[in-house]
Amino acid sequence: MKRSKFLQLFLGITLFLIFPRASAQTVFEGQIINSTSEAPIPNVNIRLATKKITATSNAQGYFRISSADSVVKDTLIFSSVGYQTLKLLTSAYQKNGFISLVPTTTTLEEVSITNEKLKIVRLNKFDLSDIKEDPPGAKAGPFPVVTYPFSPRNRFFAKLFTAPQGNAVLTRVGLGRRELDETKYPDKPLVTSHIKTRFLLHVLSVDPKTGAPDTLLFSKIINLTDKALWVELDLRKDNIIINPAEFYIAIEWMHIPFNEVIKLFYAPKVRKVNKKGNQLLEDVSEYTTLYEPALIEYKKKKPAVSWIKNHENKWQRYDSAISEQKREIALSATISY
């Protein structure tokens, strides 16, 4: 009997060592950006050299490529027309990081003069360094990257944009979006994964009396389907002409099941009451529902004017939750005029 059990154990261990675990899978994902302009690059070809697995980056420059093997000793090759090919050892890959490709031709940034009359300007621009998360294990400040608004009470956020002149065409909106990563922030409350999200993007006029957001000029439902930190919304086909030089861009959160994120807290529950009437407590789960998207708030000396809607559905000036630091939500607008 004992021998039989020993044989079973021996066989079990041998099989465990011989066969790799079927569930183990390695996923490489991240966002590919232009090293000069820091703009996301779509349609980049990504290839695992030895495994011969390929993928293409999406409109946000986001890619996801997976191998069935648990440990992949391979090379990731990123290639795209107009950029130098990048070879990255999988051992050097950082989870959900940015991959920078060097352009082979010079591209202009911020102000591009495409012809004598048309100018392109990115307003309230943020940089990669503003939204980039610290690598795992790095010593960050007390508030490395803050996520806003990750609270079920917030529905509207609006930021003021000032163009050099009126009658501009809004062509793009940039967003910094973040997923809370439990491995990087082990002491934070836990939240469920949340990649897909849907929200409303609004363009509003400025109330001349209060300076608050006023009349709705444009509205569009936006769907995001990946973990890209830097989101570029292409609005060129929407033909948005904004007459005044000042305008607001607002995000409206949709409190729908699609956007639900579950956050775990804990709360005491009475387990027993002894004869003296004293309660013995135990901690149990306490869930709360939040709604995507979570936007990135970064440090800025002179933040742009921003507003939120309060519980009475009235606009009020927005100040960062961290009052001792000046911060701004990563939201930019590209216009042409």
Partner 1 sequence: MKTLFTFLLLVLVTRVHAQDKLNVFHIVDSDTKLPIPSVSVSIIRARLAINTENDGIFSIPGDLSAMRDTIILAAQNYQVFKSPIRELKGRDNIQLARVAFLAPPKQPVSKPDTLLNDFNSSDIEHYAGIKERATPFEWLQLAQRFDSPKIGGVVKNISIYRLVFNLNSERQMDYASMEYTKFRVRIYGLDSLTHGPGRDLCSKVIEAKSNGKRHIKIDLTNLNIIIPDPAFFVAVEWVRDFHNMGYVRLNNADGLTMDRVINYRPAIGISPVKTNNLNIWGMNFRRAWLPYRYFSPDFTDLAIKAEVSK
Residues in contact with partner 1 by the rule CB under 8 A: 151-154, 182-183, 186-187, 190, 192-196, 255, 257-258, 260, 262, 264-267, 269-270, 272-273, 282-289, 310-311
Q: Whose Cβ is closer to partner 1: residue 202's or residue 227's? A: 227
SS3 content of the chain, % helix, strand, coil (to 5): 10, 45, 45
Which residue has tokens 């135990």? 282
Which residue has tokens 């606009």? 315
Shortest approach of partner 1 to residue 266 CB, angstroms? 6
Distance CA 38, CA 107 (A): 11
The Cβ of residue 2 has, within 10 Å, a number of other Cβ atoms equal to 6
Q: Whose Cβ is closer to partner 1: residue 183's or residue 278's? A: 183
Shortest approach of partner 1 to residue 116 CB, angstroms? 48
Shortest approach of partner 1 to residue 83 CB, angstroms? 30
SS3 at position 114? coil
Q: Whose Cβ is closer to partner 1: residue 28's or residue 78's? A: 28
Which residue has tokens 């059990």? 5
Q: Whose Cβ is closer to partner 1: residue 102's or residue 190's? A: 190
Shortest approach of partner 1 to residue 259 CB, angstroms? 10
The alpha carbon dihedral of 187, 190, 191, 193 has a sign of: positive
Shortest approach of partner 1 to residue 260 CB, angstroms? 6
Question: Cα–chain-centroid distance for residue 37?
Answer: 19
Q: Whose Cβ is closer to partner 1: residue 282's or residue 319's? A: 282
Distance CA 319, CA 187 (A): 25
